[in-house]
Amino acid sequence: MNTFEAPPRTLRVADLPPPFTPSLPATPKRPSVASVANVATLMPQLAPVAPRVPSPARPSVAASPFARSAAESTTAVRSVQPRRRIDTNALKRRFAMLLVTLLVAGGGAYAYQHWFVTGPPHPDSWDPRVVPIVRFVERERGLTFDHAIYVDFLTDADYQTAVRGDASSSTDTTEALAAASDANDLFNAFGLVGTTNVARAEAAISAAATIGFYTPATDRIAIRGNRLTPAVRVVMAHELTHALQAQHFDLEGLDGSGVVRSVAEADAMRIEDRYLNGLLPEDRAAAMADNTISAKALRALATVPWTLTALRMAPYELGPALVNMVYDQRGNDGVNLLFHTVPSEAQLLSPWKWSPGIDATPTQVDARAPERTIEAGASAPMSRLQLLVMFDAWLPWSMARGALDSLSGAAFVPYRTTADGPLCAAVSAQFTTDPHRFADAVTWWAGASGSTARPTVSGNTVSFDACPRGRTAPTPPKPTVSTTTALLVENAAIPHTVRDAAAATPFLCAARQLVDDPSGARVLSNAHRSAAEKDAIDAFMAKARRGCGG
């Protein structure tokens, strides 16, 4: 089951650059793209460089024994032999649990979802303490609640228990351990972690990075805090927005790309911000202070690979770019449209592509395991963001991002080479244009991460197999500019009048060069940019656009 969580306010902005207004050509500028952090439009610049120069923060792959030419990377052929299948109920349950972890769609709070399901589904009336916030959310969101729901104010200890889960059932524990082992294998195979225990890392994120959550399946809110302080009231506004969404839209129809989650979280953050800004100054200051992540929680998160945190926090950082753009254009009706007609993941990552009526249905891709292997589950979608983080962990941004520009759909299927062997994944990705940029990226990614993956190209489809890289596999180094920040930089570089790929190309090209440039990346991550640095960034972007054909 899925939950919708409220993170500490400072955590969801921790990886974003500070406010910065770009200098663009003489065309109208887009509104702010980073309202998740209440950050104005981002942009900076310094002397252009070739788009495929690795940042010093990322290991060079040129000397890798696995790096091969494009021609070599497309010649692998799978032998055609009978496959063996295992299709038991236990295996299906394990795969279902694994998908929850791999797709990073649900977050924590597993135990909470089981605590109250035997009680009455809804109270007769609201807890009197939350009625003023209920009315505020209804007014600001332009929707009304159909019925009241339960709100559980929990002590910190009880909240931690709710988030981390209940391992009292030996059956659940056995399956959870098996699923956790499988998740470790897959995340390692995709180069996202080294020896990290993914389940524990996810639990650490949930415990440190949430202060409240709403669960559609139980239609209940859990809040960290048993007193109605200003901080708790602000979190309540966020979670009540989710409860209101659930009574009007399908919040349980989450897709693997996390688009619905991103829209829902951005909508809730928008209402939360309005509630916070309407408090008395002293209450607003108290709420900000109490909803700041603690030093202890930050230390716990520091042990979690950045890739896991990036995937988990992406909805809070990417969703506002799309939702706020649509709200500025169409108000609450526009946000409602995003729930009724879910955007594509490409539109989430590049909001300038969104327009009402554009078909956002992703291409359905069916991944198949290699011959003479044991399938460990059904083919499942693999999102653009998952592939992007996978590449961005090891490759320059221009190569990682450019490899996915024409992606129309991707999927993976888990398999084993032996019944008790580690879990591998067969990935298949389809493209609307030449797929060789993706195939090349897979080859370079394999060389950098220590994977044995080899891409196979057939028409516009690229396939590759990824198996665990071993106990000594390296953890991906954290890039100077995070994946979500780089996406926001791209979006901010494009004037709001641009709506087609051809017109956007020089702006995207320049922004990607900026992210890959060591000096530009340092400025992007600098909290205190000087006027000279800003001027240099503007000069970089202008020169880069000209070199990119703009």
Given a cut of 70, whether residue 78 has pLDDT beyond it is: no
Given a cut of 70, whether residue 141 has pLDDT beyond it is: yes
For 211-221, what is each residue's pLDDT tens digit?
A: 888 888 888 99
The whole-number average pLDDT for the span 372-401 is 94
Confidence of residue 147 (pLDDT cuts 50, 70, 90): very high
259 vs 291, higher pLDDT:
259
pLDDT for position 118: 46
Helix, strand, or coil here: 411?
Answer: strand
pLDDT for position 17: 39
Query: What is the maximal distance between C-alpha atoms in the chain?
Result: 71
Torsion sign across C-alpha atoms 359, 316, 320, 526: negative
Residues above pLDDT 90, as percent of the chain: 45
The whole-number average pLDDT for the span 130-148 is 97
The whole-number average pLDDT for the span 454-482 is 92
Q: Tell whether 15 is covered by a domain.
A: no
pLDDT for position 411: 95
- 91 burial via Cβ count (<10 Å: 0-12, 13-18, 19+): middle
pLDDT for position 398: 95
β-sheet bridge partners, residue 374: 84, 416
Confidence of residue 48 (pLDDT cuts 50, 70, 90): very low
- How many Cβ atoms sit within 10 Å of the Cβ of residue 530? 10
Confidence of residue 272 (pLDDT cuts 50, 70, 90): very high
Residue 439 CA to residue 185 CA, distance in Å, equals 23
pLDDT for position 382: 92
Given a cut of 50, whether residue 401 has pLDDT beyond it is: yes
Helix, strand, or coil here: 406?
Answer: coil
Name the residue range of residue 125's domain.
4-8+105-353
pLDDT for position 334: 96
Q: Tell whether 247 is covered by a domain.
A: yes
pLDDT for position 339: 92
Contacts of 235 (CB under 8 A, 6+ apart): 6, 211, 212, 223, 224, 225, 272, 291
For 474-501, what is each residue's pLDDT tens digit?
A: 889 888 889 999 999 998 888 888 878 8
- How many Cβ atoms sit within 10 Å of the Cβ of residue 351? 24
Given a cut of 70, whether residue 234 has pLDDT beyond it is: yes
- Based on its alpha-carbon atoms, the radius of gyration of the chain, rounded to whole angstroms, reads 23
- Reading the block at residue 493, the tokens are 């570089």
Residue 350 CA to residue 511 CA, distance in Å, equals 13
Confidence of residue 397 (pLDDT cuts 50, 70, 90): very high
Q: Tell whether 180 is covered by a domain.
A: yes
Full DSSP string of 461-523: EEEEEE----TTPPPPPPPSS-HHHHHHHHHHTS-TT--SHHHHHHHHHHHHHHHHSHHHHHH
Of the candidates 199, 170, 194, 167, the one whose C-alpha atom is nearest the C-alpha of residue 183 is: 199
Q: Tell whether 303 is covered by a domain.
A: yes
Using an 8 Å Cβ cutoff, are 203 and 164 in contact? yes
Q: Tell whether 242 is covered by a domain.
A: yes
For 337-377, what is each residue's pLDDT tens digit?
A: 999 988 999 999 999 999 887 766 778 999 999 999 999 98
E strands in 225-324 = none
Contacts of 448 (CB under 8 A, 6+ apart): 58, 59, 61, 64, 394, 395
Confidence of residue 31 (pLDDT cuts 50, 70, 90): very low
Of the ranges 43-52, 68-77, 244-253, which is most confident?
244-253
The whole-number average pLDDT for the span 51-57 is 34
- Tell me the pLDDT of the chain averaged across its residues: 77
pLDDT for position 497: 81
What's the total number of domains in the chain? Answer: 1
Given a cut of 80, whether residue 83 has pLDDT beyond it is: no
pLDDT for position 115: 38
- What global pTM score does this model have? 0.78
311 vs 135, higher pLDDT:
135
Given a cut of 70, whether residue 47 has pLDDT beyond it is: no
Confidence of residue 74 (pLDDT cuts 50, 70, 90): very low
Side-chain half-sphere of 11: how many Cα atoms within 13 Å?
31
Out of 61-70, 87-96, 109-118, least confident range: 61-70
Q: Tell whether 423 is covered by a domain.
A: no
Q: Tell whether 430 is covered by a domain.
A: no
Helix, strand, or coil here: 176?
Answer: helix
Q: Tell whether 131 is covered by a domain.
A: yes
For 181-222, what is each residue's pLDDT tens digit?
A: 888 999 999 999 988 888 888 878 877 767 888 888 888 999
pLDDT for position 322: 94
- Reading the block at residue 476, the tokens are 């991906």
Using an 8 Å Cβ cutoff, are 16 and 37 in contact? yes
473 vs 442, higher pLDDT:
442
